[in-house]
């Protein structure tokens, strides 16, 4: 029984450490690449920001991929 308890404590410790590392790694990758429209009307001007695509938030004339047309309007929100 003592071995099982020790193994359970070890597994729980690794699970907590793994979750902490996953959250930390996600915070460091909070810069996302978007594209905006250039003066010629093509959606190919690259920039990075702390916004990410979302179902609710603010709308911006940005795109997640370059195109030869003007950028569509997408909904974005800040990454916390």
Helix (H, G, I), strand (E, B) or coil at 69: coil
SS3 68: coil
* pTM beyond 0.75: no
Q: Which two tokens stand for residue 56?
A: 């609710």
CA–CA distance, 49 with 14 (Å, rounded to integer): 33
- The confidence score (pLDDT) of residue 28 equals 53
Q: Are 51 and 32 in contact (CB under 8 A)?
A: yes
Residue 54 has pLDDT above 80, yes or no: no
Is it the case that residue 8 has pLDDT exceeding 70? yes
Q: What is the pLDDT of residue 27?
A: 56
Residue 14 has pLDDT above 80, yes or no: yes
45 Cβ contact list (under 8 Å, min separation 6): 35, 36, 37, 38
């Amino acid at each position: 029984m003592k071995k099982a308890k020790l193994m359970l404590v070890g597994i729980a410790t690794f699970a907590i450490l793994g979750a902490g590392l996953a959250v930390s790694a996600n915070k460091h990758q909070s810069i996302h690449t978007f594209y905006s429209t250039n003066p010629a009307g093509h959606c190919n001007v690259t920039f990075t920001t702390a916004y990410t695509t979302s179902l609710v938030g603010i709308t911006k004339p940005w795109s997640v991929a370059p195109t030869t047309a003007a950028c569509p309007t997408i909904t974005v929100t800040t990454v916390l």
